[in-house]
Amino acid sequence: MDTLTVILLILSLIGNAVLTWFLVARRPTVQVPGPPQYIQVPGPEVVREIPGPVQYVEVPGPEVVREIPGPVQYVEVPGPEVVREVPVPGPERIVPVEVTREVEVPARSGPRFGAGPFPVAVPSAFPIGRDVAPDTVVDGVDLGHLHVRAGSQRGGRNRLDQRYRRDAFLTRIVPEFPRQTLLSAVAAGNPLGAWSHSAADVLVNSLATQVGAFAEPLAYALWEAHSPDTVSELLRSALRGTTGGLERLGHLRQAAPGDVSADLLAALSPLGQSHSETRRQLVFGTGSGTALLLRDGVWSEQLALGGRAAWTAERALPDGLDLRWQPVDTQPGDLLVLCTGATAELLGRPDVGAYLAETWRVGAPDLTAFLNDLGVQAHGADTDRTLVCLWERG
Cα separation, 334 vs 393, whole angstroms: 8
Q: Which residues contact 303 (CB under 8 A, 6 or more apart)?
A: 265, 283, 284, 285, 290, 291, 324, 325, 326, 328
**N-term to C-term CA, the chain:** 146
Q: What is the pLDDT of residue 88?
A: 43
Neighbours of 209 (CB within 10 A): 15
Taking the chain (394 residues) in runs of 10, the rounded mean pLDDT of each run is: 78 80 59 48 47 48 48 47 45 45 42 61 82 93 95 90 93 95 95 89 95 94 86 93 90 86 94 79 93 96 73 68 91 96 93 94 94 86 92 87
Q: What is the pLDDT of residue 108?
A: 43
Q: Which 3 state secondary structure label does DSSP give 359?
A: helix
Strands 279-286, 262-270: pairing kind? antiparallel
CA angle 295, 300, 303 (to 5 degrees): 125
Q: Which 3 state secondary structure label does DSSP give 108?
A: coil
Angle between helices 228-253 and 196-213 (to 10 degrees): 140
Q: What is the pLDDT of residue 368?
A: 93
Q: Are 278 and 327 in contact (CB under 8 A)?
A: no
Cα separation, 342 vs 386, whole angstroms: 8
3-state secondary structure 190-254: CCCCCCHHHHHHHHHHHHHHHHHHCHHHHHHHHHCCCCHHHHHHHHHHHHHHHHHHHHHHHHHHC
Q: What is the pLDDT of residue 25?
A: 61
50: phi then psi, degrees, rounded to nearest 5 = -115, 130
DSSP summary character for residue 176: T
Cα separation, 169 vs 163, whole angstroms: 18
Strand order in the sheet with 385-392: 136-143, 146-153, 385-392, 335-339, 290-295, 298-304
Q: Where are the alpha helices (DSSP H) in 26-93?
A: none
Residue type, 304: A
Percent helix, strand, coil in the chain, to 5, is 30, 25, 45
